[in-house]
Amino acid sequence: MNAFGKLLKFSWLIILVVLVITGGFLYMIKTGTHLETNLDKYMPAKNPAFVYSNYAEDLFNIRDGIIVAVENPDGIFNPGTLQKIKDLTKDLQKLDGIDKSDVTSLYTADNIVGSEFGMEVNPFYSRVPKSPEKLNRLKKEVESNDMVFGRVVSKDEHSAVVIARIKKDVFDSTFYNKILKIAHSYEGPEKIYVAGRPIVEGTLGKLMPQDMKLMAPLVILVIIIVLLIILRSIKGMILNLTVVLLSTIWTFGLMALFKIPVYSVSTLIPIMLIAIGVAYGIHLFNHLELFLEKNPGADKKDAILDMIKNMWKPVMMAAITTAVGFLSLLTSQVYPVKYFGIFTAFGVMGAMAFALVLIPAGLSIFGLPKTGKFLGQRKLDLGRKPFSHRFAEGILNHKLMVIVTVSAVAGISLFGLTRVWIDSSFLSNFEASSSIRQTDKFINDHFAGTSSFNVILGSQKDDSFKNPAVLRLTDDLQKSLGTLKVVGDSFSLTDFLKRMNMVMNADNEKFNTIPDSRDAIAQYLLLYEMSGDPETLNSVIDYRYKTMNLTVQLKSDDSRSIKSVISVINGYRSRFADLGISINFAGSGYKALVFSELILKGQVTSLLLSIVIVIMLLTIMFRKIRIGLIGSIPILLTSIVNFGVMGLLKIPLGPTTALISSIAVGIGVDYAIHFIERYKEYSLFSSDKMEVSRKAMFHSGRAILFNAVVVISGFLVFLFSIFPPNRELGALVSLNMFTSFAGTLTIMFLLLYMSNIYFSKGDKK
């Protein structure tokens, strides 16, 4: 304590040094922070699924496409609309981030037709047709070509799409805005819709910072108000809030220093630090208030030193166990989750240091709060028991009811846990009524779909995909996939061959099939390469005809849809294997699915690991294995209830909601440590368990309650976010806070009491 006493003499210097360093971190945040919404940047580069997917994407130039739909209620087959499709196509081809050959529209699509010379591959139009005869001829050519009708031109003929595949690592906010500006410049009388994975990512990157800029001040405002109500002290509120803000600034400053981008899950870090940092301050002020109540004549220095003497150990223990819990996230393969764990752990330790250093320094400079102002403060007298005493007695007098209630809640939650499902959908980040969802719906309703999934069929032998049996099986697979509601269409080499076979047989529909012989297939492919652009085939087959890309167009990007497609494909594995063909997957849709499953796997591993570590640390800190087990009860209960509620309310497990379990560990451990430490301290001076229970509930129970009220109030603000996941986040964080608080003060307290862990027969305190 002498060291702390000497430290108080340098309070101004401490505050000045902290402010200078904070200024440096603020500059780093301003100049070195950027938001990362590109899903590819989230992926573990060495994961086999991503390694293969990246290989296939390079082989077949698989890229996420920007889809621009041009709608004319009077039909697109008029000179004005066709001219706009042509001009829009050319404008997109001129962009640096898009190769000319990667823009597909009615203007650039190949029209495979039969002729007296055999087969010809021509564009549908180069000059916009003006006369009714030419327009009608174009209309009939489109209607008779399955490769464009329903894919590039809607079957109601009121809309057409221009699809532009973008190069890797070129999509950013500037490119996003440029695309939207070009597309919407063509509006009137036609209506323009812009969709696709890059647009969803770009919109998310644009709206997320705006939403956080609105939510963060509101959360802080609510916490300020609640802190003022609880602490009844402006000094206390400012010092508590300062601890939280400084720990957040230092954390994001450190991320900027090491050039770590802000991922979507990184926005959870301030939430964690507010929940945990506010707890440290409230426990310190709670103890200070009780000391001043009992010692009204104590001077400032004695009061501050007593606060530090009695509270540094539980605050530090809580911080260490919480930080270790977050560091368990290093077991995850997903980069954002790893960084989340590392920097949240740093922020927790920072909040602990600021609480133990800046709060005493601030009190030393600005003075102590007045006694008797802390909300709920009651002088102990014989006339009336404080509520905390009555609550403790109520729990102990109704042991069976508490155990039955907690068991029932856990049982219902375990049932809900079995119904938890994973969702990798980017679109689920937006409200169903939002413009981005409405645009996506329009294109899905009129075309094959805005999302894609790539099936890569491979063989060890050259020319395997000139084998009619292999191609017929592929065609059969495509037809089976077409029976799924979520599948809008599929496209592969079979579509080229069926079209060529039909036009070479006088457009007879019965020849819209795979040719019977390998020689006929080879001849058709040679004719196509001579008549059209051979580069067109590169998106569906490699030059040795041993690897083929089957693209499945989906009308939804959620995990359930993708899994239903995979289920159908897996049913064909053995039949393809008999022909020497292997099946693999690629593309952003598949990577998003793998990504979400990695998050779930990593969360389960890290959650179990963190619980084991927390039990070990509690055992070491309190030197009793039973304390380690009892102290883990709030964590287990909160985690079970959290996932159970998600399952019962059909809230999907995504990158954000999966990490909420970390809050359960962080907060549950803090509450448990503070309560156990206080229970242990009071048991040193009394052999009356009831008296010890009352005092522990009065001291730590109140502080835990007040901390829960502060954070629950703050994060209920997220119910007003424009993003559904943020609203779910606010509700689930609030639920976790309540469950941790309730679990600590009921079942954990009861087990602590019943265990007689700090009492023995004939004990003399």
Tell whether 221 and 359 lie within a shared domain.
yes
The Cα 51–Cα 590 span in angstroms is 12
The reported pLDDT for the residue numbered 150 is: 92
Give which of 536, 562, 432, 439 is closest to 67, Cα–Cα. 439
Length of the chain: 765
Residue 642 CA, chain-centre distance (Å), reads 16
Q: How far apart are the first and last CA of the chain?
A: 25
Judge whether 491 lies within some domain: yes
289 and 272 in a common domain:
yes
Q: What is the pLDDT of residue 374?
A: 52
What tokens appear for 13 in the block? 């210097």
Residue 312 CA, chain-centre distance (Å), reads 35
Query: Which pLDDT belongs to residue 763?
Result: 53
DSSP label of 748: I
Burial level of 132, CB count in 10 A (0-12/13-18/19+)?
A: exposed
Within this chain, do residues 18 and 101 fall inside the same structural domain, yes or no? Answer: no
Q: With a cut of 70, list the residues of the chain below it in pLDDT.
A: 1-8, 37-39, 371-384, 532-534, 655, 663, 760-765
Write down which residue in 588, 609, 638 finishes a domain: 588
Containing domain of residue 648, as a range? 2-37+203-418+593-754
Distance CA 4, CA 309 (A): 9
Do 574 and 613 have their domain in common?
no
Q: Read off the tokens for 348.
A: 């927790």
Q: Is residue 431 part of a domain?
A: no
Residue 281 in contact with residue 240, Cβ under 8 Å? yes
Residue 46 lies in a domain: no
Residue 257 inside a domain? The answer is yes
The CA distances from residue 125 to 499, 535, 591, in Å, are 19, 20, 37
Cα–Cα distance measured from residue 232 to residue 303, given in angstroms and rounded to the nearest whole number: 18
**Do the Cβ atoms of 50 and 44 come closer than 8 Å?**
yes
For position 169, what pLDDT does the model report?
A: 76
Residues 213 and 191 in one domain: no
Best CA proximity match to 326, nearest among 316, 313, 314, 339: 339
Q: Establish if 439 belongs to a structural domain.
A: no
SS3 170: coil
Give the separation between CA 548 and CA 190, rounded to whole angstroms: 38
Q: Contact, 275 vs 737, CB < 8 A? A: yes
Instruction: Please check whether residue 555 lies inside any domain of the structure.
Output: yes
Q: What is the H or E stretch that residue 69 is in?
A: strand 65-71
Q: Are residues 531 and 408 in the same domain?
A: no
Count of domains forming the chain: 3
User: How deeply is 516 buried, as exposed, middle or buried, from its count of CB atoms within 10 A (0-12, 13-18, 19+)?
Assistant: exposed
Whether 298 and 398 share a structural domain: yes
CA distances from 419 to 415, 416, 646, 649 (A): 7, 5, 8, 9
The Cα 762–Cα 765 span in angstroms is 10
Check residue 440 and give its pLDDT: 92
Same domain, 387 and 528: no
Same domain, 27 and 67: no
Q: What is the pLDDT of residue 382?
A: 42
With b for 16 or more beta-carbon neighbours within 10 A and e for fewer, the 550-565 pattern comes to: bbbbbbbbbbebbebb
Name the pTM for this structure: 0.82
d(CA 527, CA 313): 81
At 678, which CATH number? Answer: 1.20.1640.10
Last residue of a domain, one of 152, 169, 202: 202
Which stretches within 571-587 are classed as H helix? 573-578
Q: Is the dihedral of CA 514, 518, 524, 525 positive or negative?
A: positive
**Tokens for 122?**
């021509």
Domain boundary among 554, 588, 622: 588
Are 295 and 192 found together in one domain? no
Distance CA 268, CA 663 (A): 10
Question: Are residues 158 and 194 both part of a single domain?
Answer: yes
How many Å apart are CA 231 and CA 234, to the nearest integer?
8
To which H or E segment does residue 728 belong? helix 724-743
DSSP state of 152: T
Residue 437 domain flag: no
In a domain, 56, yes or no: no
DSSP string, 627-652: HHHHHTHHHHHHHHHHHHHHHHTT--
- The order of strands in the sheet holding 103-104 is 103-104, 159-165, 65-71, 191-195
Contact status, residue 277 vs residue 355, Cβ threshold 8 Å: yes
183 and 257 part of one domain: no
